[in-house]
A and B are shown apart, each in its own frame.
Chain A
Amino acid sequence: MTKPVELPQGALEMLILKAVSLGPLHGYGILLRIQQISGERLEILQGSFYTAIYRLERQRWIEGEWGESENNRRARFYSLTAAGKRQLKAETAKWVDMAAVVAGILNTKADEV
């Protein structure tokens, strides 16, 4: 089994946006999808998970709607709003940029300094 990764600040929100961008999901579904995409490498802190969802909903990046789940139970499904799409795009670009910069620094060899 691979080692679990701890998430930096703000990353959980981005992951939720990404998970929801693929199609409407209820809370537990989001949880499962993140774990699935990450290959079970991410241990999401249960407590902060819903806090993140509430915050995203408040910011109107995602939108909740009551519906029927796979096993015929009422569940609240979240989907990405237009503002959420923009946010995801911007955040992704930022993360890629930052990752590149950090990776670039870390990969620097001694004689290149």
Chain B
Amino acid sequence: MSLFSAIRNRWRHLAPRTPSDVEEEFRSTLEAYQQDLIRQGFPEEEARRKACVDLGPAAAQNEKYRDAIGLRPFDELGGDIRYGLRALRRNPGFAAVAVLSLTLGIGATTAMFSLIYAVLLHPFPYAGADRIMNPAIVNEQHPDEPQWFPLNKAQFDVMRLAAPVDSLLGFNDSHMEITGGGLPEAVYGVYLTENAGSFFNVRPILGRNIEPSDAENGGHAVVVLNYRFWQRHFSGDPHVIGQTLEIDHATYTIVGVMPRSFAFNDTTGTGDVYLPSSLMRSIANVPYMAYIPWIKLRPHVTLVAANSALEPIVRQFAKEDPTRFPDHWHLALQPIIVPYRQQTGRTLTLLLAGVVLLLIIGCANCSILLLARGRTRQHELAIRSAIGASRWRIVRQLLVEAVVISCTGAILGVAASYWLARLPLLLSPDSFPAESVIRINAPILAFSVTLALLCGVLFGLVPALRLSRKDSARMLPGRQLGVVAVPGKHRWSALIAAQVALTLLLMATAGTAIRSFLRLTQMPLGYDPNNVMSLGIMLHVHDPGDWGRRIQSHDVRAAYIEQIRASIASVAGVSTVAVGTNATPPYTGAVEDSFNIDGNSNREQPQARVMLVSQQYFAALHIPVVQGRIWNVDENLRGDFIAVVNRAFAARYLSSSNALGRQLRIPDLTTWGRFTVTSTQSTSWRQIIGIVGDARNDGVDRSVVPAIYLPYTTVMLPYVQFLVRTQRDPLTYLHSIRAAIASVASDQEVSNGASPLSEAIERDTQYSRQRLFSVLFGVFSAIALALALVGIFSIVAYRVAQRTTEFGVRLALGAPRAHVLWVAARIALVSVAAGIVLGLACDSFLGAILAHWMQNAFAAGNLFIAAALFALSALLACLLPARHAITVPPAVALHYE
């Protein structure tokens, strides 16, 4: 109450008095004075007149009041703004074109900025995210492929106490299954050390995060849900806290739900559920507890200092377990943003350059329109200047009008950017951190407001300075009568030329992007992705009953997998079914393994991807056998003693003459995680019996890495991936395939991720990046082209309208119509031609830089196609309005104005 009255008091003192208040006071004075005069003997009428003359008009008193208290500049500004809005309303065509030019530019720029803000500046919701590091080992022989390393419990405790470490998070992921409901459902679980709550310091939207107390008594059976999982599985139920969830036949109490922006983690994949890591030991009973570490450094610790402080500690770990570390390595802490910044930073910079070009083109367009319109306004401005407006006053008025246009554009642009910013996320979802949420916030609004003001001043300044020149006063008496040959110098000629050059630059960039994307789509993959889908199932390894025990046996598991494979193959319309657990192209999930090869004395351990497949794999994907043969059914069941390699492997590790028959062994094949079943001789020597063609296995644009194919029975993980080749669109068979699987085991779930291989290509980072470039730059250049053409069109239309009389005279005097048309079109054609030449010069200079940034050759051919296209459309944009010059009958033209 007292606060309110205090505020009201304060406001009464600060706020200006109302006009009626001021006027009433003045009238009372006026009346008192008048009474006095009457008392002095003036007749009443005379007294009123004299009072008014002496004191001044009452109506103007408020203006005097506002002037006295210093509000006049604001009143003038308000007047200018109102005038600007009125001018826009009077000229709707002009206003629409000008506002639209800026809406597109400002909208696109704001969208790009909000994307950059979300992705590069603030992608993570974690507290102190810029201090969180991924510790990576850089193998000095392959420095561009950093490796992560897990820590055991003792190592974790050593690392946690290291000097530069503020806090240390350990996590580990696990494929799990929700049980107890109708159909089992696959979930991705992430175990977190119990300091997770304070490490992230992200407020859960419901309940709490994992806390240190969850570690008590070997770990409490609690679970925190990921937002998307909560939405999917619980339909966003707000009363979910306290309910239980059965995972792998154990019951967990739900204690929290994380907000949408929390999508931990970026190293191994976003978890559906988060569990206390103490449970890893008690429930899963693993002998070797592994933590993947995330280090949060103390504030103000530099990367260099942290690296040198932690390196001796990691060296000690390497001494304890040398097989996990390469021979020559050094430690490199990597801020968690780095992988995205590397991939996406360059993309976004290039796109930002594109939208800034677009914005400049939009601004140039507005400048041209203002200049063109300015000629018709010279009369008005001359009058203003004649009755005493200073040059500064006129410049200010024109600038305010420009800012009114740009602010209108900005309002629409910000609204548009809300959708525009989603476009890149839609087109290339995997290039951006899952956590980044695009929203319009204060920094982004500030950015666009600044941008709008800047644009207004930028495009308004040239016209304002030009139109406010004192010599325009001489325009006053004559108006534009007669045949006035126009002064030769036009600012807008230069602007049009610049605009044309920039548009060409954008068009050529778009051409390059589209061409390289097309090249990518036509690149040979080495396999045939059409009509093939991949389909995953989780084996019930956690089943506490009889099946859970039996599935741990090698033969039972191999037989079960083969039974399901055969059942899928029996579905009508399915031609081939293969097992390819970690071999789904184009980016197979297989990790690099080291192996030994006979007769190789090289100290360096050779590495290759080990892919676990069935013998049908090569037929299903149409991968040709180059030499030798594929294993048969019996060999597939046994799994041992044989291997098939790809061409890249043969080229790198085998001398061409006697490739077949060489022996290799992979010593690491036994140490693959828990619930894994290996064949008896999995690590013993294998004979290479065949060489197959290279199929992409490291992304669509990267060269094929050496690969070893082994029968999948060598190492069986708790999940299986099938590759199904069908006669038509594979997804249409999904229903019958599910039925076929259920006929083998009714409780066997099928993972959500059934997807055609052609979709896997579209999700490829490079593929989606290139597609993003082609779509966005295509749109940018189309907009730029449209803007430039509108600019050219309007300048010619304006000038032709102004020179109607001149053209009338020319026609009346017998000038050929073609000549008059040419004179009219010439208004802009010269500057367009100059712009094209300038653009060509610019592009060939920038080509090299662009080629580097887009990682693609910049084809000169695109440039000439773009230039020709542009020239053609510009010619049209000139001729259409120029036709007006010859269609007006001379008699009408002469009486024009």
Contact = CB atoms under 8 A, between A and B. Distances in A.
Nearest to B61: A50
Contact of A54 (B24, B33, B54, B69): B69
A47 B13 contact: no
Contact of A74 (B13, B26, B28): B28
B72 to A, nearest CB: 12
Nearest to B13: A60
Contact of A75 (B25, B33, B61, B65): B25
A54 B56 contact: no
Interface string B48-62: 000000111000010
A9 interface: no
B69 A46 contact: no
A94 to B, nearest CB: 23
Given A50-B61, A60-B13, A73 B68 contact: no
Contacts of A60: 13
B35 interface: yes
B33 A58 contact: no
Interface in A8-49: 26-28, 31, 46-47
Nearest to A49: B55
A12 to B, nearest CB: 12
Interface string B573-591: 0000000000000000000
Contact of B28 (A26, A46, A55): A26
Interface in A40-72: 46-47, 50-51, 54-55, 58, 60, 64, 69, 71
A2 B55 CA distance: 24
A44 to B, nearest CB: 11
B175 interface: no
A55 to B, nearest CB: 5
A51 B25 contact: no
B56 A47 contact: yes
B29 interface: yes
Contacts of B61: 50
Interface string B661-686: 00000000000000000000000000
Nearest to A29: B32
B64 interface: yes
A54 B64 contact: yes
Contact of B69 (A31, A58, A64, A76): A58
Interface size range of chain B in the complex: 20 to 34
B811 to A, nearest CB: 60
A28 B68 contact: no
Given A46-B54, A46-B56, A54 B28 contact: no
Nearest to B33: A28
Interface string A66-106: 00010101111000000000000000000000000000000
A27 B56 contact: no
A69 to B, nearest CB: 7
B31 interface: yes
B353 to A, nearest CB: 51
Interface residues of A, number: 19
B67 A69 contact: no
Contacts of A46: 54-56
A26 B68 contact: no
Contacts of B68: 50-51, 54-55, 58
A51 B35 CA distance: 23
Contacts of B70: 58
B16 to A, nearest CB: 9
A76 B61 CA distance: 15
B25 A54 contact: no
Interface string B7-46: 0000001000000000011101101110100000000000
A26 B29 contact: yes
A75 B30 CA distance: 11
Contacts of A55: 68-69
A46 B54 CA distance: 6
B688 to A, nearest CB: 95
B32 A69 contact: yes
Nearest to A76: B25
Nearest to B51: A46
Contacts of B64: 47, 50-51, 54
B28 A75 contact: yes
Interface centre among B26, B32, B33, B55 (most CB of A within 10 A): B32
B29 A27 contact: yes
Q: Which 8 residue pairs are nearest across A and B when measured between Cβ atoms?
A: A54-B68, A28-B32, A58-B69, A76-B25, A28-B29, A27-B29, A51-B68, A75-B28
Interface of B: 13, 24-26, 28-29, 31-33, 35, 54-56, 61, 64-65, 67-70
Interface of A: 26-28, 31, 46-47, 50-51, 54-55, 58, 60, 64, 69, 71, 73-76
30 contacts: A26-B28, A26-B32, A27-B26, A27-B28, A27-B29, A46-B54, A47-B56, A50-B26, A50-B61, A50-B64, A50-B65, A50-B68, A51-B64, A51-B67, A54-B64, A54-B68, A54-B69, A55-B69, A58-B68, A60-B13, A64-B25, A69-B28, A69-B32, A71-B32, A71-B35, A73-B32, A74-B24, A74-B28, A75-B28, A76-B25
